A and B are shown apart, each in its own frame.
Chain A
């Protein structure tokens, strides 16, 4: 019994040692960085696998689950993305407009101004639900994943392009419009 396990132990140890020394000598060469979508991806079985990150990068798909980007001109400020977000990392503040502002590139009518459109990338869990619900497909995921900062607030991305004066002006326009409507109702 002991003899059997001993012999088995030694043979398996030798097998393991041969395996590791094969890898030791195979480490003279390096595996090429290959896109995972290529058929030849699994053909490289030997060599060092390390990708020395900042100096070399792995190929990634153009649009994958990386950082979010918003094309604010196409946004109709419907707030669906903020509602879909499981971690509430999207903050949207809308200002209503008396008449249609314009059209997005796919033809939807814009009726709201985006006074604030912030995405907190530190909270984002990269689930991609916001991109699914977006009716105009203005919120997308990009191929940007390498972002590090010493200040947490740097990770809050603001996409709204309105200035404070503009916001104040739009707000005032809406209140005036409301007041006019009230006045018209009273008459």
Chain B
């Protein structure tokens, strides 16, 4: 019985976190957009516009459900739920701290890749169900983009998994700090198991994982349909893309899914490449910084800080780079990132055989 209650409470807590994060992230996004463009962003609702997103969500909740008369009613109503649930389930295997994760599975990474791919089906349902040419165009673009970019993401993750030798996200996070079960070598030469900190992160275990992380980061930007890869919802040509016809709470859920996806991929990158919940501070001689800043609460803190930093970088990129054209997008994916990812995968294999033995 007690276990059942925990199984109910944990998703609610995660949902609450996603909702709060979305409120915060939308505000942060608008402020960053403002500052980057020498504007102020929201200023009127509350002090410095702090209540702006709360007011927005209150407005969205109050709105009525509008279904276009020629829409496919079932698909139309189902799509936002599927889009959100696909992302939401992804959080079930993410480690927040040492052994702090909803489900400790040996196939965690594989599971995430599988469920996040369902997102694409939800978007197709939204576009098709709306029975609107702009929505359909948007969702066609979204599918083409998400299916293509799944490949570099997968290859990047395989390259990393070849080094970590496990798909269990909890173990992957454990093996990047002072609590590791195996020896960690900085760039394959220097044993940093006791030093920990930033030196023990996966990204520094081999030189090519830096490139792999860059590929992973760019490809996940495309996965969550963020600028500069936001052609599925290109406002200037497609109005709102696949969510053109949505309003009220349904739109809120699509929006929630987008921001949850941002956080999910940022956190996935953090867990696999950037040390997960491990501290970035290394032990320096008698200064045991890594020992002092490792623990459950520190772990959760570091996960937050790192993930939010990555989310911040995603926003920074969004407000800098213009949108890709559809063919440029495909060029980047198939002609540049996939070959590089394959090369990195080969290097990972060789590295495993020749250097780590």
Q: Are A49 and B38 in contact (CB under 8 A)?
A: yes
Q: Is A24 an interface residue (CB 8 A)?
A: yes
Of chain B, the residue at the smallest CB distance from A22 is B36
B190-243 contacts to A (CB < 8 Å): none
Q: Are A17 and B335 in contact (CB under 8 A)?
A: no
A1-39 contacts to B (CB < 8 Å): 2, 6, 13, 16-17, 19-21, 23-24, 26-27
Nearest CB on A from B127, distance (A):
29
Sorting the interface of chain B by its residue count into under 10, 10 to 19, 20 to 34 or 35 or more gives: 10 to 19
Given contacts A23-B36, A24-B32, A49-B38, contact A17 B320 (CB under 8 A): yes
Q: Are B321 and A16 in contact (CB under 8 A)?
A: yes
B22-78 contacts to A (CB < 8 Å): 32, 34-40, 43
Q: Are A24 and B39 in contact (CB under 8 A)?
A: no
Given contacts A2-B335, A13-B321, A27-B34, contact A20 B39 (CB under 8 A): no
Given contacts A6-B336, A27-B35, contact A20 B320 (CB under 8 A): yes
Question: Which chain B residues lie closer than 8 Å to A24 at the CB level?
Answer: 32, 35-36, 316
Q: Is B319 an interface residue (CB 8 A)?
A: yes
Nearest CB on B from A21, distance (A):
7
Q: Are B336 and A2 in contact (CB under 8 A)?
A: yes
Q: Are A52 and B40 in contact (CB under 8 A)?
A: yes
Question: Which chain B residues lie closer than 8 Å to A20 at the CB level?
Answer: 36, 316, 319-320
The 6 residue pairs across chains A and B that have the minimum distance between CB atoms: A27-B35, A20-B320, A50-B40, A20-B36, A16-B320, A49-B38
Name A's B-contacting residues (CB within 8 A): 2, 6, 13, 16-17, 19-21, 23-24, 26-27, 47-50, 52
A sample of 27 inter-chain contacts (CB < 8 A) reads A2-B331, A2-B335, A13-B320, A16-B320, A16-B321, A17-B316, A17-B317, A17-B320, A20-B36, A20-B316, A20-B319, A20-B320, A21-B316, A23-B36, A24-B32, A24-B36, A24-B316, A27-B36, A48-B35, A48-B39, A49-B38, A49-B39, A50-B38, A50-B39, A50-B40, A52-B40, A52-B43
